[in-house]
Amino acid sequence: MADHGTADRRLRLGIAGLGRGFMAMRATLSRHPRVVLAGAADPREEARRRFAADCGAPAHATVEELCADPTLDAVYVATPHQFHAAHVALAAAAGKHILVEKPMALTLEEAGAMIAAADAAGVHLIVGHTHGFDAPILRARDLIAGGEYGAVRMITAMDYTDFLYRPRRPEELATERGGGVMFNQAPHQVDVVRLLGGGLVRSVRAVTGAWDQARPTEGAYSALLTFENGAVATLTYSGYAHFDSDEFCGWVGESGQPKDPERYGQARRLLGRVAGPDDEAAFKSTRIYGGADEPPGAFPDDPPFHQHFGVVVVSCDRADLRPTPRGVLVYGDADRHLDPLPPPTVPRAEVLDELCAAVLDGRPPVHGGAWGLATLEVCLAMLRSAREGREVTLSRQVAVPGNAPIFSRGRPDGVPGMAASPELGSR
């Protein structure tokens, strides 16, 4: 590993996998002031060619070749879920710090092996992105930690999307291969409620829905989580492309972009163009990085609002807190007000903020390996609870690390993830 002794050092980051995960993080990776996008790996020649032209950095055909680059400090593992464990092991063995996409892995055994590999190599392992990194969620957590509103008693989280009807490869519709909403969407919601509820989930009771034989995996779930501190959280998610909960978020989309409600049904209409699984996989390949029909605006470079994952309400003793794309709405005993956040200048900056703070500044990450394993444990328990029709008790949970605030208003630490705002003076 390279020396990180200088205060102005930038993290040289390589990307393993140039698919949808990379597309979602592309603007963040290219614009974050503490990161240099220094290499990539992908088996698709067209993606490698595009990356080299866009980023002026080498693109390799294999993850092994990427990890062998001695100039890299860290690797972002954004390959398909089933390869996370092997690719994290490769990066750790090469002495690279690691950011791995959710889900961390498909089993707790794989997740444990990933943590052991990082520990043995002395490198950081951070699991993300999830919407637990969103600035309004982090701000709500700090409001809770400040104690003004009392203890968290109940969390309600709800999201309705078109997830199941976006173009998919066959394995993305097979639960045992990491497909469906339980591996792809539940980690977002679970991370959010664990962060707001303190982290230590005691038990899970869940039901799941697989209601479309043409999309044979879970497309919906509802779950009750109980925490060791007595708080409870209810989680509801549907990816069946009917109701859209962005309606409750001022028609701001998940990535912080304005959304046109008149485009209702677009996902199903696009899917209607394909004749079968092979055509659908081919169609998806045209809509990812390096493909001929990459959809414009899916992950905007300059979203005017913060990311979100549907409606979240945190009920405390003396207020309800609702993170929104514009800040945190506080419903107190005597008044209702918005604790505002300025718009982001680098979308999803919080993910790389945490990686850079760990590697360059020596600050322990919130979303480390143990945290990611605990989130995966909840997701797997939701599946098990639904299949067995019973409550499942958990044993691998960890608390939110540290007592210091995890998000600072106005970013006084100098990380310019958000624009400055005169509204953010002390109140």
CA gap 353, 133 in Å, rounded: 10
| Domains identified in the chain and CATH numbers | 11-131+348-368 (3.40.50.720), 135-346+378-393 (3.30.360.10)
pLDDT digits 0-9 by tens, 312-349: 999 999 999 999 999 999 999 999 999 999 999 999 99
Average pLDDT over residues 352-365: 96
Query: CA of 203: how far to CAs of 53, 355, 376, 381, in Å?
Result: 49, 30, 14, 8
Query: CA of 402: how far to CAs of 120, 361, 398, 406, in Å?
Result: 23, 16, 11, 9
Average pLDDT over residues 227-238: 98
Q: How many CB atoms lie within 10 A of CB 420?
A: 11
CA gap 22, 351 in Å, rounded: 13
State yes or no: pLDDT of 298 exceeds 70: no
Residue 411 has a pLDDT of 39
Q: How many CB atoms lie within 10 A of CB 365?
A: 20
pLDDT above 70 as % of the chain: 91
State yes or no: pLDDT of 214 exceeds 80: yes
Report residue 295's pLDDT band, with 50, 70 and 90 as the boundaries: low
pLDDT digits 0-9 by tens, 31-82: 999 999 999 999 999 999 999 999 999 999 999 999 999 999 999 999 999 9
Residue 293 has a pLDDT of 74
Go through the chain and tell me how many residues it has: 427
Burial of 54 (C-beta count, 10 Å sphere; 0-12/13-18/19+): middle
CA gap 45, 42 in Å, rounded: 8
The partner residues of 234 in beta bridges, in order of sequence, read 156, 224
Q: Report whether the peptide linkage leading into residue 170 is cis, meaning its omega lies within 30 degrees of zero.
A: no
Residue 299 has a pLDDT of 79
Average pLDDT over residues 99-119: 98
The partner residues of 152 in beta bridges, in order of sequence, read 316
pLDDT digits 0-9 by tens, 250-270: 999 999 999 999 999 999 999
Residue 287 has a pLDDT of 85
Report residue 106's pLDDT band, with 50, 70 and 90 as the boundaries: very high
Average pLDDT over residues 179-188: 98
C-beta of residue 39 within 8 angstroms of C-beta of residue 360: no
Query: CA of 120: how far to CAs of 93, 124, 229, 236, 394, in Å?
Result: 9, 11, 33, 38, 26
Place of tokens 């639960």: 175
State yes or no: pLDDT of 271 exceeds 50: yes
CA gap 410, 56 in Å, rounded: 33
Average pLDDT over residues 415-424: 38
Q: Is 78 helix (H, G, I), strand (E, B) or coil?
A: coil
Residue 291 has a pLDDT of 84
What is the CA angle 333-328-146, rounded to 5?
A: 70
Average per-residue pLDDT for the chain: 91
H-helix or E-strand spanning residue 227: strand 220-227
State yes or no: pLDDT of 275 exceeds 70: yes
Report residue 405's pLDDT band, with 50, 70 and 90 as the boundaries: low
C-beta of residue 392 within 8 angstroms of C-beta of residue 385: yes
Report residue 8's pLDDT band, with 50, 70 and 90 as the boundaries: confident
Task: List the single range of 33-37, 146-150, 212-216, 272-276 with lowest mean pLDDT.
Answer: 272-276
Supply 37's token pair.
């996008």
Instruction: Tally the C-alpha atoms within 13 A of residue 308's C-alpha that lie toward its C-beta.
Output: 34
Residue 307 has a pLDDT of 96
C-beta of residue 124 within 8 angstroms of C-beta of residue 118: yes
3-state helix, strand, coil in the chain (%, to 5): 35, 20, 45
Residue that wins the pLDDT comparison between 417 and 424: 417
Helices (H), 253-345: 266-271, 277-285
Supply 32's token pair.
């974050």
Residue 408 has a pLDDT of 44
Residue 2 has a pLDDT of 41
CA gap 305, 257 in Å, rounded: 6
Residue that wins the pLDDT comparison between 424 and 98: 98
What is the CA angle 96-101-103, rounded to 5?
A: 125
